[in-house]
Each structure stands twice: as structure tokens, then as C-alpha cells.
Amino acid sequence: METGEPAPGDDDIDGAAFFGLPGALRLLGRLDSPAQREPIVGYLSGEVAPGTMWLYRNDGTDETLVARW
């Protein structure tokens, strides 16, 4: 487990924090973008195997999962 204070070295990052797995899954589950949310939540929850590839179509308003392998 990581300890200490995270120190983002990028001016675009306002803050950073460490979270345990349950807290991280709760926060990640709130992401609006399926393309950002589904792969990481699937991997961290153990529902998707490491190395799974995800392909989304984005038409400017919707993100649709096209394929997963």
C-alpha cells in the first residue's frame, strides 16, 4: 500500500490523493464517460481480464462500446 502525500508534478493537476480499492471504485464509477469508466472499473473489480482491449465509437454526444476482446 502506498503511503505519504502525493505530489503532482504537472501544473494541469489541481490535486491528487490515494484511495483504497472500494473508495477508488466508487469514485471511478461516477465518471460520465463510459470509455474512461468501464475499462478501469472492470479491471479493478476483477470482472475483466488484464490486457482486455476496448473499442468505443464517439459520435460527439454518445460513447458506444463497439468491441471488447
For 22-61, give the DSSP string: HHHHHHHTT-S-HHHHHHHHHHHHTSS-TT--EEEEE-SS
Q: Model pTM?
A: 0.72
Q: Which helix (H) or strand (E) holds 21?
A: helix 21-28
Q: How confident is the model at residue 1 (pLDDT cuts 50, 70, 90)?
A: low
**Would the pLDDT of 11 be above 90?**
no
Q: What's the confidence (pLDDT) of residue 44?
A: 95
Give residue-wise pLDDT tens across range 26-68: 999 999 999 999 999 999 999 999 999 999 999 988 999 999 9
For the chain, give every domain's residue range: 1-69
Give dist(CA 25, CA 42) in Å, integer. 9
Q: What's the confidence (pLDDT) of residue 13?
A: 77
Give dist(CA 5, CA 17) in Å, integer. 7
